[in-house]
Amino acid sequence: MQITYFVHSITVDNEKGLATGWLPGSLSEEGLKRAHVLANNLSDCDFDAVFCSDLSRAIESTEIFFRNRLPVFIDWRLRECNYGELDGLPAKDFKKNKEQDYITSPYPGGESYKDVEQRIESFIADVAVRFPKGHIAIVAHQAPQLALDVLVKGKTWETAISEDWRRTQSWQPGWDYQINQ
C-alpha cells in the first residue's frame, strides 16, 4: 500500500504560534490560499481514497484539496497529539526542545507520542486490509506524520522529532510512505 501524506493547511493558530492539539482550529486566509494552490496540483493525482483527521482544520483542508472527487473517510485516529492542558497554548513553551520529554510520558492531561504511534499503527492495520495494494491520501497533523516516520521508515522518535521538516520549514506537497505487508 502506498500512502501520500498531506498536512492540513496553515491555521489561525499556526500563525499565532499556538499548539492546537485536539482543539478544532480553522484555516487562516493564507492557509485557504495555499490549500487552493495545492488543490490545483492534486487534480491529476490518482488515489483510491482519502483519509483525514476528524478535526475541522483537516476536514476543511481535505475538502479544498480534493474537491469531493474521491471517497473521504474521517478517522479520529489521525488526530494531532492531545496536548491536554497545553492545547491552545504557545507551542514555544513546550515544543521545539521539550517534545522528546513526551515520547513515553503523556502531556499533562493528554497523551504521549507513543500513544499517537499506537493509534496510527491501528489505523494502518485497518486500512491495509481494505486497500492492500492501493494508493491512499492522508490529511492530518504533525504527530501522526512523525508516527509514520517511526512505524514505516524505522526512525526512532528522537530522530523523527529532530529531523521533522517543520524545524527547517522544508514543506513539500505530500510525503510518500510505502507499507509492505
139: β partners: 6, 52
* pLDDT band (50, 70, 90) for residue 96: low
Domain that holds residue 134: 2-178
Total domains in the chain come to 1
Least confident of 41-45, 62-66, 102-106, 136-140: 41-45
pLDDT in tens, 122-166: 999 999 999 999 999 999 999 999 999 999 999 999 999 999 988
pLDDT for the residue numbered 118: 98
* pLDDT band (50, 70, 90) for residue 115: very high
pLDDT for the residue numbered 98: 82
Q: What CATH number does residue 153 fall under?
A: 3.40.50.1240
pTM: 0.94
The residues near 88 (Cβ < 8 Å, ≥ 6 apart) are 13, 18, 19, 20, 21, 23
Long-range contacts of 16-20 (CB under 8 A, 24+ apart): 17/90, 17/91, 17/92, 18/88, 18/89, 18/90, 18/91, 19/83, 19/86, 19/87, 19/88, 19/89, 19/90, 19/91, 19/94, 19/95, 20/55, 20/57, 20/80, 20/87, 20/88
